[in-house]
């Protein structure tokens, strides 16, 4: 079959690779399936051809010179490759109801913070503030007086510059006026001066997640186009993040489970708590009980309480409620030391309930013991399972899991966090943390997640005295001697295993008759277990260790901790380490030693200053927020988001995030049914007879294509790839047929109900809002398409340079929709 290759015209060029690539499709599709028909037929029927070989052949036949469909498929696979296939589709009416719930939840979260006065933003906002204003009060705008010469700043409208200083100057054109203070900022091409009051509204400190303050380049004062593009990329990244959170939240709200029964046995269990609960603890008990016994949606609650403030008791009551109803509970800890301690606490607390069985899964067990435990979990013979990240593995199959308790979520890796997140859509989840990770924190702030704050210390607790100083052997000996003389024990912590032996030698020389032991994660399991047991019993007086003791170890008699090379620890880590002491009524001491202040980075110095400031009890929550400003994201969001943050800096990124979270319903696209989409382009290609003969069941394949398109874009992408893998690149007429299917599918996803052309004008009738249209077009890669589109009423219009032939018109619409469709990950799609 021969056909005429159309002449390229500029208006239709919209894919990477230049103008030729758009039209090369025609040349490429000129009977390629005929030339390789024999070999492809053999490949299709050969039982020995592996999937890998087929994929390899496919990559040579298609990916070498990708056509528009291949490029679109690659983008779909990239954007949707990690999607959760178990999530069911939500209709628009349901979404309306749930979005309203989210906004109400957000308001409750903000109101709670205001009442508690937990942040400066909450205390400064007036009671009459609107939702948007409340959210925007949680910003990171910088006080110009806190800046030092050379600091990098971000101006919301101009971009990234270098702070020079604050000077008095006369306003321009007012020579007789009083001088006022101006902030001077250096940009790539000029120096800017802003009145001080304006600067305090528009300036942000420029920080990056990797703790460096140096941007790639300064912005230009006289050309803000590059900055606008960077800001748009940042905004789009924020939107994608918000949509991911929103979809997880909406999906979780859609899941239902019967409320747990309010049993008198729960009150009986609570009565065995040997201490008098603090007011905050009582409120946390009530919050969790309401989540479990009055709600039909799975709980996702953060219990944020300082070390030793009673978070574990909140978890124990939740576990009892779930287990007594016949479900299993999983307790997940970041280290085996902490897991074992949880196991002992839970076993003791449930010892009067012989029908409730508690098990510990750990690397200390033999293979036979592990297999036995796995079988018991699967058969439902264990009710409470305690362990580390191994509990998240594929080999652990639960019989009837109802509750997941996560202790110190920030200590888990990215993969474990993703697995924990997947649980949150189906079962109740309770997270315990003294210093929540920034993501946990801002979710709690904005109501996507419930939070209970335990900020009241138990009556007998005494604040820990924190001593920060340069390293000194004399000070270390003095601190240890003070603790040993009063009959106590000492933690001595180093950041790395290397160096432990050297310190051990120094301690043994200084305290020759004192029992000293080493503990770190690389030791044999039995050796580590025995060391921790002896320290807990008081046989070992000085425990020389890494941060393996960071979480949960509760030794009442250990009331001095020494941390060497403190600059190598994160703020949250230091706070947790300090919390290992002071758990009794004795005054505890934390001695933090650094090698030399001149060797410390600005971030390390800020961390240490924050730790000294937050030496009062119950300040883990404020510390986490401080850490969010100092440390930024760390590796919490992954590389992609880290790169996106680099475009605008952490502080502006966070403001965008809060703003976006408060306006979730404004960035929403409502799809229309596939079958209702009208594409009024009169083009009906006829497949060549030899291609029809080549296809095994042509009518079934065409119907399969229609069914895939009706289902979703992912199914259509899979169908096209499978078709090409089996039969090679389709002829031109089949390509046109596929493009028509893609056009209808993408239009349906974008809420476009009708597409038609009138002369040079292409019109798309849509239900999307002007704000959604602006967000989509701002993120489009092609200037050709972006500049040609306008929004009028309920129509998206594009005036072309000339009236196109039908086939070229289809190509233009296909590529325009492909660009619009690329922005869908940043939109709520209900």
DSSP for 313-358? Answer: HHHHHHHHHHHTTT-EEEEE-SSHHHHHHHHHHHHHHTTT-TTS-E
* Every domain of the chain and the residues it spans: 144-223, 264-454, 465-616, 669-823
Q: What is the pLDDT of residue 110?
A: 56
Q: What is the pLDDT of residue 470?
A: 85
Q: What is the pLDDT of residue 130?
A: 37
What number of other Cβ atoms are within 10 A of residue 720's Cβ? 24
Q: What is the pLDDT of residue 605?
A: 73
Euclidean distance between CA atoms 830 and 828, whole angstroms: 6
**What is the DSSP pairing of strand 752-758 with strand 761-766?**
antiparallel
Torsion (CA) 539, 541, 547, 550 in degrees, nearest 10:
80
778's enclosing H/E stretch is helix 770-778
Residue range 144-223 forms a domain whose CATH class is mainly beta
**Residue 659: closest CA among 511, 775, 580:** 775
Q: What is the pLDDT of residue 127?
A: 33
Asked if residues 612 and 486 have their Cβ atoms less than 8 Å apart, the reply is no
**Residue 814: closest CA among 824, 803, 806:** 806
386 — alpha (psi -120 to 50), left (phi > 0) or beta?
A: beta
Per CATH, the homologous superfamily of domain 264-454 is P-loop containing nucleotide triphosphate hydrolases (3.40.50.300)
**Residue 623: closest CA among 606, 610, 608:** 610
**Residue 673: closest CA among 616, 625, 744, 730:** 744
Backbone angles phi, psi at 608, to 5 degrees: -65, -40
Fold classification of 465-616 is Rossmann fold (3.40.50)
How far is the CA of 567 from the CAs of 210, 275, 466, 586, 598, in angstroms?
15, 37, 15, 28, 12
* Maximum alpha-carbon separation in the chain: 98
**261-276 pLDDT, tens digit each:** 988 888 899 988 888 8
The answer to pTM > 0.75 is: no
Residue range 669-823 forms a domain whose CATH class is alpha beta
**What is the DSSP pairing of strand 384-387 with strand 358-361?**
parallel
Q: What is the mean pLDDT of each run of 10 residues along the chain (830 residues)?
A: 35 32 30 37 34 37 65 86 55 70 65 47 36 42 84 89 89 78 92 88 74 73 87 79 72 82 89 87 92 90 80 94 93 84 91 92 81 91 91 87 86 73 81 63 58 76 80 93 93 91 93 92 76 86 86 77 85 76 80 78 69 57 49 38 64 74 75 93 86 86 93 93 90 93 95 93 93 86 84 91 91 93 77
Asked if residues 327 and 402 have their Cβ atoms less than 8 Å apart, the reply is yes
**What is the DSSP pairing of strand 328-332 with strand 401-407?**
parallel
Q: Let me know if the fold of 264-454 is the same as that of 465-616.
A: yes
């Amino acid at each position: 079959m021969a056909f005429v290759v159309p002449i390229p015209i500029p208006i239709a060029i919209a894919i990477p690779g230049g103008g030729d690539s758009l039209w090369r499709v025609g040349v490429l599709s000129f009977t390629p399936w005929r030339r390789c028909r024999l070999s492809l037929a053999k490949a299709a029927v050969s039982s020995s051809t592996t999937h890998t070989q087929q994929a390899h052949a496919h990559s040579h036949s298609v990916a070498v010179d990708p056509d528009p469909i291949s490029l679109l498929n690659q983008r779909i696979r990239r954007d949707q490759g990690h999607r959760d296939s178990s999530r069911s589709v939500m209709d628009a009416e349901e979404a309306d109801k749930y979005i309203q719930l989210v906004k109400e939840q957000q308001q409750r979260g903000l109101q709670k913070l205001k009442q508690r006065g937990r942040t400066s933003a909450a205390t400064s906002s007036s009671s009459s503030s609107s939702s948007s204003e409340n959210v925007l009060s949680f910003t990171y705008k910088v006080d110009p007086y806190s800046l030092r010469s050379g600091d990098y700043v971000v101006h919301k409208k101009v971009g990234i510059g270098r702070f020079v200083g604050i000077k008095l100057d006369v306003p321009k054109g007012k020579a007789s006026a009083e001088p006022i203070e101006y902030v001077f900022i250096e940009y790539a091409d000029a120096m800017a001066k802003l009145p001080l009051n304006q600067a305090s509204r528009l300036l942000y400190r420029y920080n990056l997640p990797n703790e460096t303050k140096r941007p790639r380049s300064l912005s230009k004062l006289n050309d803000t186009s590059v900055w606008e593009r960077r800001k748009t990329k940042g905004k789009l990244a924020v939107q994608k993040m918000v949509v991911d959170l929103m979809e997880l939240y909406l999906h979780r709200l859609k899941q239902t489970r019967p409320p747990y029964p309010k049993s008198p046995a729960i009150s009986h269990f609570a009565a065995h708590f040997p201490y008098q609960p603090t007011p905050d603890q009582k409120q946390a008990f009530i919050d969790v009980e309401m989540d479990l016994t009055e709600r039909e949606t799975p709980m996702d609650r953060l219990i944020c309480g300082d070390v030793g403030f009673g978070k574990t008791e909140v978890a124990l009551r939740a576990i009892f409620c779930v287990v007594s109803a016949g479900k299993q509970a999983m307790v997940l800890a970041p280290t085996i030391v902490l897991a074992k301690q949880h196991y002992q606490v839970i076993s003791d607390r449930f010892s009067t309930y012989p029908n409730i069985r508690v098990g510990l899964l750990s690397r200390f067990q033999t293979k036979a013991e592990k297999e036995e435990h796995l079988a018991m979990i699967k058969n439902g013979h264990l009710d409470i399972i305690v362990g580390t990240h191994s509990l998240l593995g594929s080999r652990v199959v639960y019989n009837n899991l109802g509750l997941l308790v996560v202790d110190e979520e920030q200590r888990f890796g990215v993969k474990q966090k993703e697995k924990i997140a997947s649980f949150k859509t189906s079962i109740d989840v309770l997270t315990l943390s003294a210093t929540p990770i920034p993501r946990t924190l801002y979710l709690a702030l904005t109501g996507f997640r419930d939070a209970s704050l335990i900020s009241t210390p138990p009556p007998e607790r005494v604040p820990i005295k924190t001593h920060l100083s340069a390293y000194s052997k004399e000070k270390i000996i003095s601190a240890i001697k003070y603790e040993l003389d009063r009959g106590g024990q000492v933690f001595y912590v180093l950041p790395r295993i290397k160096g432990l032996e050297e310190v051990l030698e120094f301690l043994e020389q200084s305290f020759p008759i004192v029992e000293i032991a080493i503990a770190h994660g690389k030791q044999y399991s039995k050796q580590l277990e025995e060391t921790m047991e002896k320290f807990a019993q008081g046989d070992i007086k000085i425990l020389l260790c890494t941060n393996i003791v960071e979480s949960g170890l509760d030794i009442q008699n250990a009331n001095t901790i020494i941390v060497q090379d403190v600059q190598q620890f994160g703020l949250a880590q230091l706070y947790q380490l300090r919390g290992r002491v002071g758990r009794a009524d004795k005054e505890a001491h934390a001695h933090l030693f650094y090698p030399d202040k001149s060797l410390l980075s600005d971030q390390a110095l800020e961390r240490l200053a924050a730790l000294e400031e937050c030496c009062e009890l119950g300040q883990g929550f404020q510390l986490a927020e401080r850490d969010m400003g100092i440390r930024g994201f760390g590796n919490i969001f992954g590389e992609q988001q880290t790169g996106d943050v680099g475009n605008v800096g952490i502080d502006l990124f966070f403001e965008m995030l809060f703003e976006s979270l408060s306006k979730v319903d404004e960035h929403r696209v409502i799809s229309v049914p596939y079958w209702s989409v009208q594409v009024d382009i009169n083009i009906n290609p006829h497949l060549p007879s030899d291609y029809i003969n080549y296809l095994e069941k042509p009518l079934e394949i065409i119907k399969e294509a229609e069914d895939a398109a009706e289902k979703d874009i992912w199914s259509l992408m899979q169908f096209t790839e499978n078709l090409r893998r089996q039969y090679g690149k389709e002829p031109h007429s089949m390509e046109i047929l596929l493009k028509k299917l893609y056009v209808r599918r993408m239009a349906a996803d974008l809420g476009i109900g009708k597409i038609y052309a009138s002369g040079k004008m292409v019109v798309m009738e849509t239900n999307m809002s002007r704000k959604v249209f602006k967000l989509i077009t701002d993120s489009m890669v092609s200037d050709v398409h972006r500049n040609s589109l306008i929004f009028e009423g309920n129509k998206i219009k594009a005036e072309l340079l000339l009236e196109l032939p039908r086939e070229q018109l289809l190509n233009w619409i296909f590529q325009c929709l492909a660009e619009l469709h690329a922005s869908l990950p940043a939109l709520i799609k209900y």
